Amino acid sequence: MATATDTQTSPQPQLSEEDLSKDAFYVQLGDLADAMIAKHGKEFAMGTLLLSARFIAEGKSLTGRTGG
Protein backbone atom coordinates (compact mmCIF):
# COMPACT_ATOMS: atom_id res chain seq x y z
CA MET A 1 0.00 0.00 0.00
CA ALA A 2 1.35 3.41 -0.98
CA THR A 3 1.89 6.02 1.69
CA ALA A 4 1.81 9.78 1.31
CA THR A 5 5.61 9.77 1.18
CA ASP A 6 5.64 7.27 -1.71
CA THR A 7 3.45 9.44 -3.92
CA GLN A 8 5.42 12.67 -3.45
CA THR A 9 8.00 13.44 -6.09
CA SER A 10 11.49 14.63 -5.35
CA PRO A 11 12.35 18.16 -6.43
CA GLN A 12 14.02 18.28 -9.83
CA PRO A 13 17.69 19.26 -9.76
CA GLN A 14 18.55 22.67 -11.19
CA LEU A 15 20.04 22.27 -14.67
CA SER A 16 23.33 23.97 -15.45
CA GLU A 17 23.74 26.33 -18.41
CA GLU A 18 25.60 23.54 -20.22
CA ASP A 19 22.77 21.06 -19.58
CA LEU A 20 20.18 23.57 -20.82
CA SER A 21 22.28 24.18 -23.93
CA LYS A 22 22.61 20.45 -24.60
CA ASP A 23 18.87 19.98 -24.13
CA ALA A 24 18.18 22.75 -26.65
CA PHE A 25 20.47 21.10 -29.22
CA TYR A 26 18.78 17.76 -28.60
CA VAL A 27 15.39 19.34 -29.34
CA GLN A 28 16.80 20.89 -32.54
CA LEU A 29 18.25 17.54 -33.59
CA GLY A 30 14.92 15.84 -32.92
CA ASP A 31 13.09 18.41 -35.01
CA LEU A 32 15.59 17.97 -37.84
CA ALA A 33 15.31 14.17 -37.68
CA ASP A 34 11.50 14.39 -37.74
CA ALA A 35 11.68 16.65 -40.81
CA MET A 36 14.08 14.28 -42.60
CA ILE A 37 11.83 11.31 -41.82
CA ALA A 38 8.74 13.13 -43.06
CA LYS A 39 10.43 14.17 -46.31
CA HIS A 40 12.68 11.19 -47.12
CA GLY A 41 11.96 8.33 -44.69
CA LYS A 42 13.58 6.69 -41.69
CA GLU A 43 16.40 5.06 -43.64
CA PHE A 44 17.60 8.41 -44.98
CA ALA A 45 17.41 10.03 -41.55
CA MET A 46 19.29 7.20 -39.84
CA GLY A 47 21.95 7.05 -42.55
CA THR A 48 22.49 10.80 -42.43
CA LEU A 49 22.81 10.85 -38.65
CA LEU A 50 25.18 7.87 -38.64
CA LEU A 51 27.32 9.42 -41.37
CA SER A 52 27.39 12.66 -39.37
CA ALA A 53 28.58 10.76 -36.29
CA ARG A 54 31.31 9.10 -38.35
CA PHE A 55 32.47 12.46 -39.73
CA ILE A 56 32.56 13.90 -36.20
CA ALA A 57 34.60 10.91 -34.96
CA GLU A 58 37.04 11.30 -37.86
CA GLY A 59 37.31 15.08 -37.43
CA LYS A 60 35.89 15.77 -40.89
CA SER A 61 33.78 18.80 -41.73
CA LEU A 62 30.06 18.11 -42.00
CA THR A 63 29.45 21.12 -44.26
CA GLY A 64 32.59 21.23 -46.36
CA ARG A 65 33.62 24.42 -44.57
CA THR A 66 36.68 24.60 -42.37
CA GLY A 67 36.75 25.86 -38.82
CA GLY A 68 34.35 23.50 -37.14
> According to DSSP H, which parts of the chain are helical?
4-7, 17-40, 42-58
Cα–Cα distance measured from residue 49 to residue 55, given in angstroms and rounded to the nearest whole number: 10
Residue 11's pLDDT is: 78
Cα–Cα distance measured from residue 36 to residue 32, given in angstroms and rounded to the nearest whole number: 6
pLDDT (tens, 9 = 90+) of the chain, 68 residues, equals: 555 555 677 777 899 999 999 999 999 999 999 999 999 999 999 999 999 999 999 999 999 876 54
Cα–Cα distance measured from residue 48 to residue 44, given in angstroms and rounded to the nearest whole number: 6
Q: What are phi and psi of 16, to 5 degrees?
A: -75, 165
